[in-house]
Each structure stands twice: as structure tokens, then as C-alpha cells.
């Protein structure tokens, strides 16, 4: 996978991050993969559970060091990311894939037989990424969601803040070699191409990763039932389990409850 220069090795001799213009709390570098130790660290992981305000403290790392924050779940039966069997060697580069083509392939394999319909194509519903000068700044929306997430508890068993060397938020899963969707798609970079498209159209940010689940914030979600149903079709191809294993396995029901006006989208792969 094509990546930016990785600044994380500098933390080996400078764990506070001062050389990168940071003030990091105690943490560790994760370089463990399914094939053993990776040549460079894949992420920095805080030792202590995340608390409200921690994301804001790490946000400057994006400008000063090219590191993007994300919450990872270090609890659960699978443990933390050092035990997730990360597979960076299996990742291509998200920019090499077209989101519409990726979803069309996945729709044909997983959704066409369930719906009896051809792939409808990407929807133009929703605003483009609102940008940093908007009241719905995607980074501010992400920060608010993370604070609510770690304050309420429940969704993540042991939320820890992490920093990942990535070009954009949508690339974070592939940058660390995350293989949570492996039973659905072996090259997570293909799904990151879809996340890039959602980043551009709906202002999403990848805010949390678990062993097999993903949470994104949404700054400009669809606001009409028709738009939500069109986006729900994209979700069906992206993560069929979201719909097929729900109480009412229909695209329309999913759109009404999980997409329409929702400030967060969550995904889980069996």
C-alpha cells in the first residue's frame, strides 16, 4: 500500500512526541501482524482508556506529524489491535480503486440475490463534505461523537485513542492492515475507497475500530427517505450483515432507522 513517510518510529526514542510537536500521554507502538513483527509501527496506542477531550488533545497531530486519531477497542474477546492479526501486506492503496466499481462487485455477490435488483449506482444524495468553515465541520462532528462515545460507554468495551499514519481518515483501516471485514472483502483498501467517497459526499470520518466493527461520524447525512434508501443500498453492498442480520432485513427499514439524518453509521462483519 502506498503511504506517507511514517513518523511513528521517532516515538521509539521520544515517547512523549515532542520531536513531532506533540504531548502524548503514556502509550505504546503496535507493530504486531499476522505474520509477526512489521518493519515499522502501524499505530500508536494510548495506555489509558479514552476520556472526553482526549481526541481534541490529539487532533493537532494531523497537522504537525501527519498522524490521524482514531478510537480502537482494546477490550472484548479478541483483545486489542496487537492481537487482531493485522495484515498490512494484504492491503492495496485505496486511491487505486473506484468506489462505484467496488460496490457494484460486492452488490452482485452479496445483495443482488437478496433484493432481485441490479446495482443502482452511487447516489448523489447529500451535500459534499461541508469543510472546516461550516457549522457541520466533519472534524468537529467526529470530535463530538467520540466524546459522547467514550463518556456514555457501552458500544466499546475498552476505548483507547490511537494515532495512525494515513493520508485521510478514510484510509485508516487499510493503513493499519485492519482485517475486520475479511470474510466479506479480503483487501480492506477496496472498502476504504468507498469510505473516501462517503468522505467526499457526506463528510464522514472514521472514528472507531474494533476487531470486526467500524464506526464513522457523518456531518451531512441524507435528509429525505428517498436519499436515505439510496445510501442504504450502498451500505448493503459495503456490509451485508448490517441488513441481513437485523430485525427487519429490508433496505427501506434500514434506511429509516440507521441512515436517515443519522450523525453516525456503524458496521459489523460476521
Q: What is the pLDDT of residues 207-219, one digit of tens each?
A: 999 999 999 999 9
Task: Say what the pLDDT of residue 172 is.
Answer: 98
Percentage of the chain beyond pLDDT 70 is 95
pLDDT in tens, 53-98: 999 999 889 888 999 999 999 987 888 999 999 999 999 999 999 9
Q: How confident is the model at residue 3 (pLDDT cuts 50, 70, 90)?
A: low
DSSP per-residue codes, the chain: -------GGGGGT-TT-GGGT--PPSEEEE-EETTEE-SS--EEEESSPP-TTHHHHHTTHHHHHSEEEEEEE--STT-SGGGS---GGG---GGGS-HHHHHHHHIIIIIHHHH----------SPSP--TTSTT-HHHHHHHHHHHHHHH-SSSSSEEEEEEE-SSGGGHHHHTT--TTTTT-S-HHHHHHHHHHHHHHH-EEEEEE-SSEEEEEESS---SHHHHHHHHHHHHHH-THHHHTSSS--HHHHIIIIITT-SEEEEE--
Mean pLDDT, residues 3-24: 89
Task: Say what the pLDDT of residue 115 is.
Answer: 87
Q: How confident is the model at residue 130 (pLDDT cuts 50, 70, 90)?
A: low
pTM tops 0.85, yes or no: yes
| pLDDT, the chain, mean | 91
Q: How confident is the model at residue 134 (pLDDT cuts 50, 70, 90)?
A: low
Whether residue 7 is predicted with pLDDT greater than 70 in this model: the reply is: yes
Amino acid at each position: 500500500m502506498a503511504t506517507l513517510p511514517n513518523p511513528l518510529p521517532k516515538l521509539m526514542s521520544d515517547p512523549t512526541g515532542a520531536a513531532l510537536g506533540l504531548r502524548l500521554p503514556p502509550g505504546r507502538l503496535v507493530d504486531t501482524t499476522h505474520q509477526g513483527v512489521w518493519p515499522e509501527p502501524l499505530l500508536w496506542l494510548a495506555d489509558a482508556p479514552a476520556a472526553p477531550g482526549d481526541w481534541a488533545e490529539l487532533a493537532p497531530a494531523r497537522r504537525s506529524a501527519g498522524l490521524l486519531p482514531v478510537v480502537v477497542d482494546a477490550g472484548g474477546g479478541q483483545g486489542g489491535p496487537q492481537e487482531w492479526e493485522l495484515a498490512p501486506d494484504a492491503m492495496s492503496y485505496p486511491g487505486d480503486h473506484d468506489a462505484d466499481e467496488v460496490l457494484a462487485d460486492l452488490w452482485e455477490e452479496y445483495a443482488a440475490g437478496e433484493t432481485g435488483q441490479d446495482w443502482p449506482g452511487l447516489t448523489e444524495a447529500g451535500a459534499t463534505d461541508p469543510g472546516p468553515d461550516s457549522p457541520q465541520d466533519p472534524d468537529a462532528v467526529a470530535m463530538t461523537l467520540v466524546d459522547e462515545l467514550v463518556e456514555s460507554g457501552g458500544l466499546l468495551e475498552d476505548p483507547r485513542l490511537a494515532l495512525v499514519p494515513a493520508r485521510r481518515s478514510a484510509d485508516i483501516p487499510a493503513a493499519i492492515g485492519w482485517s475486520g471485514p475479511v470474510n466479506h472483502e479480503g483487501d480492506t483498501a477496496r472498502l476504504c475507497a468507498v469510505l473516501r467517497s462517503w468522505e467526499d459526499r457526506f463528510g464522514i470520518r472514521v472514528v472507531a475500530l474494533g476487531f470486526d466493527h467500524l464506526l464513522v461520524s457523518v456531518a451531512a447525512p441524507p435528509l429525505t427517505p428517498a436519499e436515505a434508501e439510496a445510501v442504504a443500498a450502498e451500505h448493503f453492498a459495503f456490509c451485508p450483515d448490517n441488513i441481513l442480520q437485523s430485525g427487519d432485513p429490508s433496505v427501506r427499514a434500514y434506511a429509516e432507522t440507521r441512515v436517515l439524518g443519522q450523525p453516525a453509521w456503524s458496521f459489523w462483519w460476521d
